[in-house]
């Protein structure tokens, strides 16, 4: 049969097209809710009703933010401006986030949310939110974190023995060593140091993810805190002939109430990362800028930079940019994920600017004051 002789598809009526749209919406496996331009719920599929515990009649026609209650990990109701559906309306872009929804029976469940605005000529006509219950995923993550924590603790005991006896051999407590033996021991020392750093990183991450990291706020001067780290950081920089500088910009005080040990961990990770991914004879600069309500720290390097297409993954667990993997085979991709988690515990913020081949600038801020926080094992719904 010739192509021109093929029968044409039957023309569907508007009612049939509407029925098809309704069938597609209803059959979505995840929870799905649509709203009009005022945020009133217009459709809700069976999956959403099952997750939230409401019937269709109880939801349709109600104002979305009032009926669908979102809360933080600390059980604090989420501000309207911070809701994904509000962000989608304001930006005109799809928004993806994780938070907690409160069911009709009061139970709070972690959900992964994707909201897309419905636009016509650039104006919002409504939005569609698709979400799913991630309780099982969070439980699996919790079990993995507990296993990593247990394994890391168990690894520390034999590692301590290896380090102790290696240093005894190196220091000559068991007789003189020849050049080849000294070189081998140096390799062992370097490997055990890297393993110890990895174990510390894994333990910190499991504490952050489980909400059990302890915070002890006290008044410190940020510039003095960083100066204490400089001798150790300069040793790392000297090994690669990198010019490491610390500078203070502005005349305000750098005094803040925060956890000094956690801040040291953040700075050490950022600067060591900058040194590691900067070629020999490069530059790394730490700049501290006091502001009225916060203090900003900038770590600038002349390294390889981060490709544009990879920049949205920088703070993801185990992420390593392709241009870095080719040059530096060691590394776990956990450093920046850890830094982001530590800053979250201190109510800090972090961001960066980078250009491949032209270096990277990491910025983070810490508030002047930090409420007295204790370790907590509350639920987490991380973005």
At residue 317, the pLDDT reads 75
At residue 224, the pLDDT reads 93
The CATH class given to the 137-210 domain equals mainly alpha
376 pLDDT higher than 60: no
Distance CA 288, CA 365 (A): 10
At residue 55, the pLDDT reads 92
Range among 1-5, 124-128, 186-190 rated most confident: 124-128
At residue 161, the pLDDT reads 85
111 pLDDT higher than 90: yes
More confident residue, 141 or 5: 141
pLDDT bin (cut points 50, 70, 90) of residue 362 is very high
Of 108, 86, 90, residue with least CA distance to 99: 108
The CATH class given to the 218-367 domain equals alpha beta
At residue 373, the pLDDT reads 54
At residue 300, the pLDDT reads 95
214 pLDDT higher than 80: no
Distances (CA, A) of 289 to 208, 221, 248, 285: 27, 12, 6, 13
For tokens 């950022």, name the residue: 270
At residue 5, the pLDDT reads 59
170 pLDDT higher than 70: yes
The rounded mean pLDDT for the chain is 84
At residue 326, the pLDDT reads 59
Full-prediction pTM beyond 0.75? no
For CATH 3.30.450.20, list the domain ranges present in the chain: 10-133
pLDDT bin (cut points 50, 70, 90) of residue 331 is low
Q: Which of 101-115, 145-159, 162-176, 256-270 has the lowest mean pLDDT?
A: 145-159
Percent of the chain's residues with pLDDT above 70:
88
At residue 381, the pLDDT reads 44
237 pLDDT higher than 70: yes
Distance CA 150, CA 160 (A): 16
Are 119 and 125 contacting, i.e. CB atoms less than 8 angstroms apart? yes
Of 270, 259, 260, residue with least CA distance to 339: 270
DSSP assignment of 203-255 equals HHHHHHHHT------EEEEHHHHHHHHHHHHHHHHHHTT-EEEEEE-SSS--E
Residues 6+ apart with CB under 8 A from 85: 35, 39, 64, 65, 95, 115, 127, 129
For CATH 1.10.287, list the domain ranges present in the chain: 137-210
Distance CA 31, CA 52 (A): 9
At residue 383, the pLDDT reads 40
pLDDT bin (cut points 50, 70, 90) of residue 375 is very low
40 pLDDT higher than 60: yes
Q: Which of 132-136, 173-177, 204-208 has the lowest mean pLDDT?
A: 204-208
- What confidence tens digit (pLDDT) does each residue in 311-329 have? 888 888 776 776 665 566 5
Distances (CA, A) of 122 to 33, 39, 82, 130, 262: 21, 17, 22, 22, 45
For CATH 3.30.565.10, list the domain ranges present in the chain: 218-367
pLDDT bin (cut points 50, 70, 90) of residue 372 is low
**Mean pLDDT value of segment 122-133:** 89
Are 267 and 348 contacting, i.e. CB atoms less than 8 angstroms apart? no
pLDDT bin (cut points 50, 70, 90) of residue 286 is very high
Distance CA 31, CA 113 (A): 9
- What confidence tens digit (pLDDT) does each residue in 348-358 have? 999 999 988 88
Of 311, 288, 252, 313, residue with least CA distance to 365: 288
Are 257 and 346 contacting, i.e. CB atoms less than 8 angstroms apart? no
At residue 379, the pLDDT reads 46
More confident residue, 94 or 124: 94
Distance CA 153, CA 148 (A): 9
CATH architecture of 10-133: 2-Layer Sandwich (3.30)
256 pLDDT higher than 60: yes
At residue 8, the pLDDT reads 58
């Amino acid at each position: 049969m010739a192509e021109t002789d093929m029968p044409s598809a039957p023309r569907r009526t508007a009612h049939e097209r509407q029925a098809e749209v309704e069938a597609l919406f209803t059959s979505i496996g995840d929870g799905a809710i649509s709203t009009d331009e005022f945020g009133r719920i217009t459709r809700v599929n069976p999956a959403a009703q099952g997750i939230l515990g409401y019937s269709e009649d109880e939801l349709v026609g109600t104002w979305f933010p009032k009926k669908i209650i979102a809360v933080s990990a600390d059980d604090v109701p989420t501000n309207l401006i911070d809701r994904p559906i509000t962000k989608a309306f304001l930006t005109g872009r799809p928004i993806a986030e994780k938070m907690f929804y409160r069911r009709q029976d009061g139970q709070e469940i972690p959900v992964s949310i994707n909201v897309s605005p419905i636009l016509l000529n650039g104006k919002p006509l409504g939005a569609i939110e698709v979400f799913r219950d991630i309780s099982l995923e969070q439980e699996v993550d919790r079990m993995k974190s507990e296993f990593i924590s247990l394994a890391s603790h168990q690894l520390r005991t034999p590692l301590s023995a290896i380090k102790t006896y290696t240093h005894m051999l190196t220091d000559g407590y068991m007789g003189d060593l020849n050049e080849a033996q000294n070189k081998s021991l140096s390799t062992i020392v370097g490997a055990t140091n890297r393993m110890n750093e990895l174990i510390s990183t894994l333990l910190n991450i499991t504490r952050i993810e489980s909400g059990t990291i302890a915070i002890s706020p006290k008044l410190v001067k940020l510039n003095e805190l960083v100066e204490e780290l400089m001798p150790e950081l300069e040793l790392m920089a000297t090994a690669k002939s990198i010019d490491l500088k610390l500078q203070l910009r502005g005349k305000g005080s750098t005094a803040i109430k925060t956890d000094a040990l956690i801040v040291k961990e953040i700075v050490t990770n950022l600067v060591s990362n900058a040194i590691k991914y900067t070629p020999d004879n490069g530059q790394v600069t730490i700049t501290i800028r006091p502001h009225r309500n916060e203090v900003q720290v900038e770590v600038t390097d002349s390294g390889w930079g981060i490709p544009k297409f990879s920049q949205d993954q920088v703070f993801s667990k185990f992420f390593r940019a392709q241009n870095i993997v080719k040059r530096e085979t060691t590394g776990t991709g956990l450093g920046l994920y850890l830094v982001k988690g530590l800053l979250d515990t201190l109510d800090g913020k972090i961001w960066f600017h980078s250009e491949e081949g032209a270096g990277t600038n990491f910025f983070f801020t810490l508030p002047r004051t930090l409420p007295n926080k204790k370790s907590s094992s509350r639920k987490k719904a991380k973005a």
